[in-house]
Structures are given as C-alpha cells and as structure tokens.
Amino acid sequence: MIVARTGNEAMAEAMRQINPDVVAAYPITPATEIVQLFSKFVHDGLVDTEFVPVESEHSACSACCGASASGARVMTSTASQGLALMHEILFIAAGLRLPITICLVNRSLSSPINIHCDHSDTMASRDAGWLQIYTENAQEAYDTTIQLVKMAEQALLPGIVSTDAFIISHGLERVELIDDKEVPKFLGERKVNYSLLDVDNPITLGPLDLQDYFFEHKRSEIDAMNNVLPIIEKVQKEFGDKFGRYYPIVDEYKLDDAEVAILVMGSTGGTAKVAVERMREKGKKVGLIRARVYRPFPKDAMTKALSKVKVVGVMDRSDTMSTLGGHLYNDARSILYKSDNQPLMKNFIYGLGGRDISIEEIEAIYEQLFDIQKSGEVDKDVVYFGVRGE
C-alpha cells in the first residue's frame, strides 16, 4: 500500500505492525509523535502490546531491559536528551545481551538547548555496544525498523534506527507499507534461550563480575559486534527478497567512475544525491557514499568504497570535541591507515543544531574537492561549513 507518511508516522506504523510485547517509552521532541501514535494504537486495540508510560527515559531503558530479559519483544523511542539519560543503561542492555529496538530521532544535545537535527546524541552513544543504522528517508526508516528487530534478536544485541529531526521525522513522504500480516511473518516469534520468567530454570542475570571473568564476558560482547555484519546482510537480503526493497551496508551512489566523493549519513544523503545528479549534468564525475550501518563500522565495505576515488569530503553532523573533527571522518581515516589506496580527505562539519544544508552548498563542497584533486593538497583537514566566522 502506498501512503503519505512522515518519518515518525512511518516508524509508528512499523511498530504497530511489529506488535511488540512491551513498549516502555517517554515522549521527547521530535520523537514524541511516535510514542503518541503508538499509545493510540494501544488504546484503540490495534496492538496487543503492554505499553509502559514510564516517568523518564532512564526508566524506559531499564524497563525495556527487564522485559527483554523476560523473553519479550521490546521497543522504545527517544531522541537527544532522552538517549543521554538512557546512557548508563545502554551499556547494561548490551552487556546483558538484551535485544531492544529504539526508534530514534537524531536531535542535538544541549547546550545550547535546541530541538533540531544533528547526530551528537547517537554519536555520544556509539561505544555503548548497540547497532546503529542511520536512515535517509521515511521509507528506509520504516523498512529498517522492521529489519532491526530481527537483526537485534538474532545477534542478541540492542539496536538504534534513526531519522534526522524534522527533516525526516516531520517531513511528509511517499511510503510503501507492507501488508499487516506480512510483518509478523517476516519476523517470526522471538526465540529465547533464557528467560527470567522460567521459574523452573532460574538464572542470575547481571551478577558482580570481577577481575577473574569480566574480561572474557566483555570480549564475548565485542565478538558479537565483530560477527554481526553477516546477520545484518542476511536480514537485509531476506527483506529485499520478500518485499523488493534491498538495502546495502554502505550505500554507494554513482561511485564507480567518480573522481571525488562525499561521505555522509542520514537525510543529507538524499540531498547529496540530487547534487550528484546536477554535477553529473555538468559533466563532473562525482559520487556519493552514505554510511547506513554505522555500528558496527563496516570496515571492508567502507574501505572498498573510499578507495574508488581520489578525494573524499567527509560530512559530519557532529564533532568529537577533541580537535580531531567529526566522528565519521575519524572512523574513515582510521580504516585507511593500512590501505594502499588512500584518497585525500577533508572533513566538513555541517548542520549542527539543524542548520539547513542545501543542494547548492553540497555542489560547492564538490567543487572544493576538485580543487584538492587539482592541487594534490588538503589545505585544512577540518572545516566548519556554513557557520559564521569560518
């Protein structure tokens, strides 16, 4: 069925069709709508879910842990400060290997307080042991929400699927919905090896783990992250085979014959694709790489993509506050350390606090990349694009 939906509506629709056992959530701009719409589904009897309207995001994540440890299929939704408030429990959920899916809307972290898009919230949680998938549009957000539930349950790792605040969360788009009956069929029942509710086989979950065992347990969690890419690929393929929409780990656009490329994530991927078209009309060989799966970082696929061009402009919607530029830039540079084919690289930090990025601005970035190609030198590694005083 083809409908018009905002990103938030599309994610809420996916949650309705998934029909989780437990949703524990707390509203926060700009993800409030997801929680509101889902509450309505509960009160209208459209889902069987036990909805727990908690008193904070900290409790939301905590309740999700308890429910997931009990064998339930569990989801929540949040943004920005809400994710920051969950921060402590994010690590615990991953350490206890509890599959939980967060429908997240990327919004900048205070201060200054702001409700618009950047990626500082999820970037601050990138080391928590959660899968992170950034989507470009409402369709991808909807599809990925469904996929992520399956990936998380198979990998026994929690995951975050995100959209860009307002740009996607509130933008109305064409979305193709899957038939209600097909979503539960695609997901199947959650398979549970251990449950807190199995009173005949009691387990102790979350014991104190000291010098003699902690490291092995943490290592097994790291291994789970090391081994999850094939699971992600498998679920994406199953989804594509069934519903016709295939997603890559790393989204490449007109890259094969490109001389220069932009590496970006989230909704700007869509804007940049238009810029690519325009540049190509002018005969300029530009391409695009979009990091869809960010945690785990897809080292091989990303190295391959980056190595195809001479110059890469990495666009980050967050800064590491370390003098080293943005998160994606640092990851991309790091994986190329041993590569024989290292493109020149420049980091463009842009759009913090929701500052708009236009097609023309991205075209200007491409022009800068051509200048670098010509001179063979990067004048300045990290620049702040579209900010006063730069």
- Residues numbered 84 to 103 that lie near other proteins (CB under 8 A) are 88-89, 92
Under the binding rule (CB under 8 A), the answer on residue 356 touching other proteins is no
Under the binding rule (CB under 8 A), the answer on residue 70 touching other proteins is yes
Residue with tokens 């967050």: 318
As measured in angstroms, the least distance from the Cβ of 185 to other proteins is 17
Structure tokens at 116: 């618009």
Under the binding rule (CB under 8 A), the answer on residue 202 touching other proteins is yes
Q: Report the alpha-carbon distance of residue 177 to residue 142 in Å, rounded.
A: 8
- DSSP structure class, residue 46: S
Q: Report the alpha-carbon distance of residue 311 to residue 343 in Å, rounded.
A: 5
- Residues numbered 143 to 162 that lie near other proteins (CB under 8 A) are none
Among 213, 277, 300, 381, the residue binding other proteins under the rule CB under 8 A is: 213
Among 29, 39, 42, 71, the residue binding other proteins under the rule CB under 8 A is: 71
Q: Where are the beta strands (DSSP E) in 322-379?
A: 344-350
Q: Report the alpha-carbon distance of residue 296 to residue 132 in Å, rounded.
A: 7
Among 24, 232, 311, 369, the residue binding other proteins under the rule CB under 8 A is: 24
As measured in angstroms, the least distance from the Cβ of 24 to other proteins is 6
Q: Report the alpha-carbon distance of residue 201 to residue 61 in Å, rounded.
A: 26
> How many CB atoms neighbour CB 217 within 10 A?
14
Specify whether the backbone of 14 is left (phi greater than 0), alpha (psi in -120 to 50) or beta.
Answer: alpha
Contact predicate 67/96, CB 8 Å = no
Contact predicate 235/147, CB 8 Å = yes
Q: How many residues bind other proteins (CB under 8 A)?
A: 45
Under the binding rule (CB under 8 A), the answer on residue 246 touching other proteins is no
Q: Which is nearer to other proteins, 159 or 351 (CB)?
A: 159
Under the binding rule (CB under 8 A), the answer on residue 390 touching other proteins is no
As measured in angstroms, the least distance from the Cβ of 83 to other proteins is 16
What's the length of the chain?
A: 390
Under the binding rule (CB under 8 A), the answer on residue 188 touching other proteins is no
Q: Letter for the amino acid at 183?
A: V
Among 39, 42, 66, 126, the residue binding other proteins under the rule CB under 8 A is: 66
Under the binding rule (CB under 8 A), the answer on residue 196 touching other proteins is yes
In the complex, which residues of this chain contact other proteins (CB under 8 A)?
Answer: 21-22, 24, 48-50, 52-56, 58-60, 62-72, 74, 88-89, 92, 195-199, 202-210, 212-213
